[in-house]
Amino acid sequence: MNNEISKLVSELEEISGSAKNTFGDLNGEQINWKPSADGWSVGQCFDHLIKANLLFFPELEKIASEKRQSSFLENYSPLSSFFGNLLVKSLQKDGRKFKAPSQAIVPPSEIDAHIVEQFAAHQREVIEQVKSTEKADWQRTIITSPFMKLITYKLADGFRVVVEHERRHFRQAERVLQADGFPK
């Protein structure tokens, strides 16, 4: 396993471990408690991450099979590096709220009480998907965002987006725990 993959796998494992340590003992009421009518619960944060990550899987499977054909936009977009960096930087800033770009990744109101365990299992799948792309050149392989079809970025940036997106919603879930009224 090369250094780039090892670093990414370590980051994903760290997020998974922190999720289990921080949220693993919450009960169903705590998992589903919302700080406000329009705020997300801890469970919704993790459900959203699972759904968002799954949208990357078909592309990663094609890359791993070495049978993937790049689209015209992926071959000729001069802005791929720009979009990747912009997205990563925007995810690192908690002050700005984003609307989920697709209804497919908006979590339902009621989440299974075992969502943190499901997230940990999902992280193992994400790690396997990452490892499966080892033969690809992460800096030269350009992918299209599964959320915004006119945005392309390097595969390496796509993985950075996944990690920063997970970190962002982990921090959001931590804020839910600290909110006034959180059930103890």
- Residue 124, in any domain of the structure: yes
Q: Compute how many other C-beta atoms are within 10 angstroms of the C-beta atom of residue 152.
A: 26
* 183 domain residue, yes or no: no
Confirm if 148 and 55 have CB atoms less than 8 A apart. no
Contact 125, 12 (CB under 8 A): no
Q: Is residue 90 part of a domain?
A: yes
Q: Is residue 112 part of a domain?
A: yes
- The CATH number for 97's domain is 1.20.120.450
pLDDT digits (tens, 9 = 90+) for 106-130: 688 899 999 999 999 999 999 999 9
Residue 159 has pLDDT above 90, yes or no: yes
Q: Which of 40, 28, 56, 26 is nearest to 122 (CA)?
A: 56
Q: Answer whether residue 52 is part of any domain.
A: yes
Provide the 10 A C-beta neighbour count for residue 101. 14
In the chain, pLDDT over 70 holds for what percent of residues? 92
Residue 169 lies in a domain: yes
Nearest CA-CA partner of 29 in 181, 167, 174, 168: 181
State how far the Cα of 184 lies from the Cα of 178, in Å rounded to an integer. Answer: 11
Tokens (6 digits) for 50: 């699972």
Domain assignment present for 33: yes
Query: What is the pLDDT of the chain when averaged over all its residues?
Result: 90
Q: Domain range spanning residue 79?
A: 3-178
Domain count of the fold of the chain: 1
Is 140 inside a domain boundary?
Answer: yes
Average pLDDT on 99-108 reads 65
Q: What pLDDT score was predicted for residue 31?
A: 98
49: pLDDT strictly greater than 90: yes
